[in-house]
Structure 1
Amino acid sequence: MDRQTILRYIASEADRPMKMKELARALRIDDGSYGRFRRTVKDLIDSGELVYLKRNRIGVAEKLNVAVGIMSITRSGAGFLIREGITPDIIISQTGVGTAFDGDKVMVRLGGKIGDRDAGVVIRVLERATRNIVGVFRKGKALAHVVPDNPRIHRDLYIHPDNSLDARDGEKVVAQLLAWDDPYLNPEGKIVERLGFPGQPGVDMLTVMRAFNLPDEFPRQVLDEAEQAAARLAETDLSERIDLTRECIYTIDPADAKDHDDAVSVEKIPGGYRLGVHIADVSHFVIEGTSLDSEAYRRGNSVYLPGMVVPMLPHVLSSDICSLKPNRKRLAHSASIEFDSKGKMLRWTLFDAVIKSRAKLTYEEVQDYFKSGIRSEGIDKTSENLDIARELAQLLSARRFAEGSLDFDLPEAKIIMNEKGEVIELGHRVRLESHRLVEEFMLAANRAVALELFRAARPALYRVHDKPDMEKLEAFSLMMSRLGHKFPVSPNMKPIQFARFLEGIKDAPEADFINELMLRSMQKAVYQRENIGHFGLAFSHYAHFTSPIRRYPDLVIHRLLKKHRSGEFTAAYAKRIVPHIDHAGQHCSETERNAEAAERQAIRVKQVQYMANHLGEEYDGVISGVTTYGFFVRLGNLGAEGLVRLSAIDDDYYLYDEKNYRVIGRRQKRTFRLGDAIRVGILKVDQTRAEIDLYIPAPPKPAKQKPAIAEKGKKLSRRELRENKRKTKRR
């Protein structure tokens, strides 16, 4: 008996909740099938689609005024129930959160309203987001406890002495949740790992890795398989590949890059251009079904933290055999794409190749050549090709933006550290023309690959970006009107409408801030088999192909392309691969979100470390968020964000005006609004929770001045006095 049949019966035919055996009889389940039926029903209960009621009766969640979703808890302790594909979210008050942690899958009983929004109470935790919690160990006289680093976890974990792992007071630890059934008591846990003390080298990034469940070491079997895979390069029959070793092919990457997974070449042809995008042929070395492949799938992607990388593949592959190093023969999966003289894509071919990169160029190196004609050794080898590449990239960029592709161009945080891992400077990465050149070529290749698989009616793993949700768009439009900008919204808006708006405000002082707000109002790009296009890029077809060293979805695409070209994409293969594509899409979307969150947190940790050495200093910033308890300020070029608490502003009582995204003084009507420029100082930092508290400097007092005194005049002579009298009489 399948899940849908059971759900359909209870939802439409059962006139009341039923016990397990009663339900089995109604569905005519025989004794031999009862065990499997019972397990299916329990799975439905665990997933929240069915609900256990009093006296062991079972009902459908949607008919019983309950909802299932993911719990999102705010710093204040209240939260929201987020349901997939359903808006708005359900508000959960601080007292209604129960024993749920942020990220848990929960069941909520609906009832009442908070403001004009539906509210509910958590009645059951269906699945913990994680049982491991990172925090600071504090030793008490009888019991110890762990103070979680995550400000969204509002309960300390009590630790029995037998479960302390001999941790010392103040040490960073990983605690495993043992039990928490009573919201009136604190949860219990046990220490499973001691990370070291704050300030010790590497402890900060190790803490982030544990908080986001990032793996560190590869299993021994995976390393052994990677070594064996690397040895296959020497055994590969290169005669079956197109030889491009004499072509002018080169890589352009950051100066500190170790994994070079893409190289390019460009040439002029009659009536247009031919672009070559050559991608490391990872699928030749990472074979489906091996332990190496399973580990790459589990990781989903590489994660880039300040000063370190958590790689998807072992070093021998990612930084050596697969990496497109200069002057070395390397296996590539190549796309040769032809464009007309206006940058319109005409045709493409995809093939296995062997290449030899002529130069390892950096973005800065190429930019210096574009801007000032400065020629390095690598530029000397590639300059003629680079000039043509620049022409083509400019054509592709202009065409893409004319068709509505969005370019948020948000500042990216830059952390500069010394050899000890200490932060010595904060700033933003400058986006160069050389960055845009590589981006355009990668976008073109990704688009061609997606079109190839789609036109051949092959199942594929697309990179999709759905159109924005109307409710979020209306909120963004209202926000813009409060900031003095018009952004009318309507159903079925096109990307070009967003692009024109961004073009219109690009010179506004708050342009970066508005770009970020618009990005927040957009849907999240994900991986899935169903192609719905990419709204942000204004592409009807798009997939990820160009980074298989660091993204598993790209590896999936490489394998699908090889099956497609070889004629092995049979009906049987398609049937087998479809579930794998679906699972990979969901899994890799989740690992990507987790990686992005870990990268943001790691940057925040380093920013807070830097600001700890600058207490009392003042900076210019922009108000980036307003809440009931204060407002957040993004600190100019530093990129760090801190909080001005309303309780710290002592010149008035401030009220939160949610509709106008501001706080306003009760007496003096002083206002702090979203997007306002503001001067703030660093009040204090909490390095454990990576938080910065800010203050508003008092305006300078006018210098005290002495009362004005008439200047003492000089003594006049008798003759001068007589002369003055005569002048007075004449008047």
Structure 2
Amino acid sequence: MTGRDRGRLPSREEVLDFIRKSTTPVGKREIARAFNITGSDRIPLKAMLRELADEGLIGRGAKRKVAPPDALPAVAVLDIHEQDVDGELLARPASWSNDVAPPRIYVVPGQRTPTPPAIGHRILARLDRQADGSYLARVIRRLEAPPGAVLGVFTAVGADGRVQPTDRRIKHELVIRGEHSLGAETGDLVLCTLEPGHRRAVIEGRVVERFGRIDDPRALSLIAIHRQGLPTEFSEAALAEARAATPAEMKGREDLRALPLLTIDPADARDFDDAVWAAPDDDPANPGGFHAVVAIADVAHYVRPGSALDKAALERGNSAYFPDRVVPMLPEELSADLCSLIAGTDRPCMVAKMRFDADGNKIGHSFSRAMIRVHCRLTYRQAQAIRDGKIAGPDDRDVREHVTRLYDAWHILDAARTKRAPLDLDLPERRVEIGEDGYIAAVHPVERLDAHRLVEEFMIQANVAAAEMLEARKAPCMYRVHDRPAAEKVVALADYLQEFDIRLAKGQVIKPAHFNGILAQAADSANAHIINEVILRCQAQAEYSPENYGHFGLNLRRYAHFTSPIRRYADLLVHRSLIGALGFGPGGLRPEDIEKFAEIGEAISGHERRASAAERDALDRFTAVFMADRVGAVFAARVSGATRAGLFVRIADTGADGLIPISSLGYEYFRHDATRHALIGEASGKEYHLGDGVEVELMEANTVTGGLIFKLLKVTEEVTRGRAKAGLAKRRKTVKRTTPKAVRKRKAKAAGKTAAAPGKRKARKSK
């Protein structure tokens, strides 16, 4: 720095460059010295540093350093996009141009927000960076999100109309001129685009599609599909390719049409992409062992790399399933016909042939490209009834024999599975039943049969065989990976489990068996559902990746998805890799596809999360409609989540989830204790815990948003805690009560101690 530069205020870029190159954090004094800034010239420097910190470009505090690339400003505009398994709302910056992913942002309702924030809201929030790099976003106010296409409910007004958006972010109605209404009638669910040049409060729109009546429950799936942005229309090129497809020929395929393969699927299955067969091994060297065949639709024969169908499938990533419809990954000409394993019809398949010993260990496998003919289609319930001797399916001696052999093989595989000890969580699912009239008949938990477990285990074995074959051939593999839980989550879980007298040693290499041991300890207790829940929340999220780091949940070193290429793009990639590696003819991977494997893995993992969110969204909406006529009714429930927004509860009979807003729990401030999964009243010391049994009244069922709001009537059953329960009262006593009576008592007690203090001091001195 020369004398000419004395007193010159450096530019923002120069300050950032100086901080970046410094080996240690620097403060205002070091920066001023470096740029020869003295006296009153330090005032604009201080203002610049505060500005850079507010923008998230440098850290705060006396000593500063350049913020990491994912740092955020002190105040930012955010979009709430997701809710995690703990019920916490997650947000992301409304504008984000960095190459790295944005940090995790947890939304905390502000003191002055009249309604709690929700998914889809845009907010202005004050951000506090946490030690782990995440942020707490405290809502300052709600903002208007700029709408694109708008889904809403049409109401006729004279010759024109109005559309009330289903998205709570959009507060204004759209005005629809008569010539732009597309014939919509009052109560229709419609999709609109905005007309250019709207003025002031009047925003005009144009109806571009009608979806039927909003009071028709089938409209609920459409809202969820639109909200999550699932692609629903195929390009003309993709449809043309699907229509032009013809049945595959036998040439180049193994003829397995005489093998009595069975399909076992739900009663309302819309596609059939897997068939199974098993029989005892006749090799004397393998006594008690068996053969198994898993045949999977040869989608790669029809969907070639780079084709219009391929692009459409990648855009979707997977099919999405709703109570009343499916959004398929492939057009129906393929998914419901040529690629569907229809009984009695020749179909091309990729086939995994496996041999197992008497202990259920796989001792060999091979693959072929074949032609099959399914012998019989069964539902899960039919297969189970045949096994149990209650003939509820085809009364065919051969079918019964084939089902019996499948179950015999499964029992051996199940014993090996038990020995392998995958994570064994008991997580009930909800199912919406649609009646013949198209309306919701019931919402109930899904029944889990041995037939489900049988098919699941055969599919797992085929998936493992596919991954092993590709590794042996040094071919690309799109693995299905599931990382072990993060260390900090395991530590938090171990601390929480101490409240139930359950010990999980910290610092050990955690395995699924450790969790299974905990689940076994809690299995016969009233806390079993809580333990299942907290262990689930401890887990990482499964994803697709060409890099293999194993599947923690299944306790497998290598695992890929091979068994559902009709509905998962990852499986199609595995098929293509096998075709290329084993020389099975056309339809293998291209070099350019292999180069993009990591990018494709990220994309289809995101598409999977998008579809899952839409499915959950629709399920919530269907449940809300089912519960709408029960507003005011009282239900038994359990606390399924304690968050900053309030208590989430799950109804016992339907499994419906809803929120008890934190503002309805009382006038005191409730502190959220994430480690103990609890809300704790600062004044009263009252605690509400995950798993508490409660009695609630349904106050609101929003059929458009799918939200259920409850009022807490009473706690019927507190979570039974062990050794920590003895210290619970002690902890509650340490909470400072802020009621006027409590404050008066503390002041009086303090005054008494002060008056007695001199005498006590004198007595000590006399000793």
Bin of the TM-score, shorter chain as denominator length: 0.7 to 0.9
Counting only pairs closer than 5 Å after superposition, residues 159-174 of structure 1 correspond to structure 2 as 172=189, 174=191
Task: Return 657-666 or 596-605, whichever deviates more.
Answer: 657-666
CA contact under 8 A between 1:397 and 1:440: conserved in structure 2? Answer: yes
Counting only pairs closer than 5 Å after superposition, residues 288-687 of structure 1 correspond to structure 2 as 288-374=305-391, 376-377=393-394, 380-482=397-499, 485-490=502-507, 492-566=509-583, 575-648=591-664, 655-658=670-673, 660-663=676-679, 671-687=687-703
Residue 508 of structure 1 aligns to which amino acid in structure 2?
A: S
Q: Say if 1:177 and 1:73 are closer, same or farther in 2 by CA, change over 3 A.
A: farther
2: CA distance, partners of 1:135 / 1:656? 38
Secondary structure of 2:257 counterpart: coil
Give the match for residue 747 of structure 2.
none
CA contact under 8 A between 1:134 and 1:149: conserved in structure 2? Answer: yes
Residue 384 of structure 1 aligns to which amino acid in structure 2?
A: E
Q: What is the deviation of 1:198? A: 2.6
Which residue, out of 228, 243, 250, partners 2:262? 250
Residue 259 of structure 1 aligns to which amino acid in structure 2?
A: D
Secondary structure of 1:347 counterpart: strand
Residue 296 of structure 1 aligns to which amino acid in structure 2?
A: A
Deviations along 1:560-584, whole A, 9 cap, x unmatched?
Answer: 10011118899x9774232332232
Q: Say if 1:606 and 1:578 are closer, same or farther in 2 by CA, change over 3 A.
A: same
Q: Say if 1:510 and 1:86 are closer, same or farther in 2 by CA, change over 3 A.
A: farther
Residue 673 of structure 2 aligns to which amino acid in structure 1?
A: E
Deviations along 1:585-641, whole A, 9 cap, x unmatched?
Answer: 112111111111111111111111111122333322211112345312101130101
Residue 321 of structure 2 aligns to which amino acid in structure 1?
A: Y
CA contact under 8 A between 1:65 and 1:109: conserved in structure 2? Answer: no
Give the match for residue 720 of structure 2.
none
Give the match for residue 171 of structure 2.
156
Could you tell me the TM-score, scaled by structure 1's length? 0.75
Counting only pairs closer than 5 Å after superposition, residues 23-62 of structure 1 correspond to structure 2 as 62=68
Residue 245 of structure 1 aligns to which amino acid in structure 2?
A: R
Q: Say if 1:419 and 1:374 are closer, same or farther in 2 by CA, change over 3 A.
A: closer
Q: Say if 1:65 and 1:691 are closer, same or farther in 2 by CA, change over 3 A.
A: closer
2: CA distance, partners of 1:666 / 1:279? 59
Does residue 262 (structure 1) correspond to residue 274 (structure 2)? The answer is: yes
CA contact under 8 A between 1:413 and 1:428: conserved in structure 2? Answer: yes
Secondary structure of 1:336 counterpart: strand
1: CA distance, partners of 2:179 / 2:422? 54
1: CA distance, partners of 2:299 / 2:277? 20
2: CA distance, partners of 1:474 / 1:626? 19
RMSD: 4.7
Counting only pairs closer than 5 Å after superposition, residues 149-298 of structure 1 correspond to structure 2 as 149=166, 153=169, 156=171, 172=189, 174=191, 193=208, 195=211, 198-200=214-216, 202-229=218-245, 231-233=246-248, 236=249, 238-269=250-281, 270=283, 271=286, 272-298=289-315
CA contact under 8 A between 2:154 and 2:162: conserved in structure 1? Answer: yes
Listed as ranges, the gaps of 5+ residues in structure 1 are 1-9, 19-49, 53-58, 180-184, 701-731
1: CA distance, partners of 2:188 / 2:355? 59
Q: What is the deviation of 1:667? A: 7.6
Secondary structure of 1:637 counterpart: coil
Residue 626 of structure 1 aligns to which amino acid in structure 2?
A: A
Q: What is the deviation of 1:70? A: 8.7
Give the match for residue 50 of structure 2.
none
2: CA distance, partners of 1:63 / 1:695? 43
CA contact under 8 A between 2:82 and 2:90: conserved in structure 1? Answer: yes
Secondary structure of 1:588 counterpart: helix
Task: Return 436-445 or 397-406, whichever deviates more.
Answer: 397-406
Deviations along 1:205-260, whole A, 9 cap, x unmatched?
Answer: 2212211222334333322211211x243xx1x14211111112111111122311
Secondary structure of 1:566 counterpart: coil
2: CA distance, partners of 1:132 / 1:401? 51
Residue 240 of structure 1 aligns to which amino acid in structure 2?
A: G
CA contact under 8 A between 1:681 and 1:697: conserved in structure 2? Answer: yes
Secondary structure of 1:221 counterpart: helix
Q: Say if 1:482 and 1:380 are closer, same or farther in 2 by CA, change over 3 A.
A: same
Q: Say if 1:363 and 1:64 are closer, same or farther in 2 by CA, change over 3 A.
A: closer
2: CA distance, partners of 1:517 / 1:85? 30
Deviations along 1:363-412, whole A, 9 cap, x unmatched?
Answer: 10111122235364265222223222212212222222322311223111
Residue 481 of structure 2 aligns to which amino acid in structure 1?
A: V
Deviations along 1:630-677, whole A, 9 cap, x unmatched?
Answer: 312101130101222355457x85734525433456787654321012
CA contact under 8 A between 2:88 and 2:643: conserved in structure 1? Answer: no
1: CA distance, partners of 2:685 / 2:306? 66
Counting only pairs closer than 5 Å after superposition, residues 137-156 of structure 1 correspond to structure 2 as 149=166, 153=169, 156=171
CA contact under 8 A between 1:361 and 1:379: conserved in structure 2? Answer: no
Deviations along 1:162-218, whole A, 9 cap, x unmatched?
Answer: 899558887655566999xxxxx9998966656555314632222122112223343
Give the match for residue 746 of structure 2.
none
Q: Say if 1:524 and 1:16 are closer, same or farther in 2 by CA, change over 3 A.
A: same
Deviations along 1:494-532, whole A, 9 cap, x unmatched?
Answer: 222122222222233342343233222211111111111
Secondary structure of 2:422 counterpart: coil
CA contact under 8 A between 1:66 and 1:107: conserved in structure 2? Answer: no
Deviations along 1:269-321, whole A, 9 cap, x unmatched?
Answer: 13211110000111111122221221122111111101211111111211112
Secondary structure of 2:454 counterpart: helix
Q: Say if 1:503 and 1:115 are closer, same or farther in 2 by CA, change over 3 A.
A: closer
CA contact under 8 A between 1:623 and 1:676: conserved in structure 2? Answer: yes
2: CA distance, partners of 1:112 / 1:526? 27
2: CA distance, partners of 1:130 / 1:456? 50
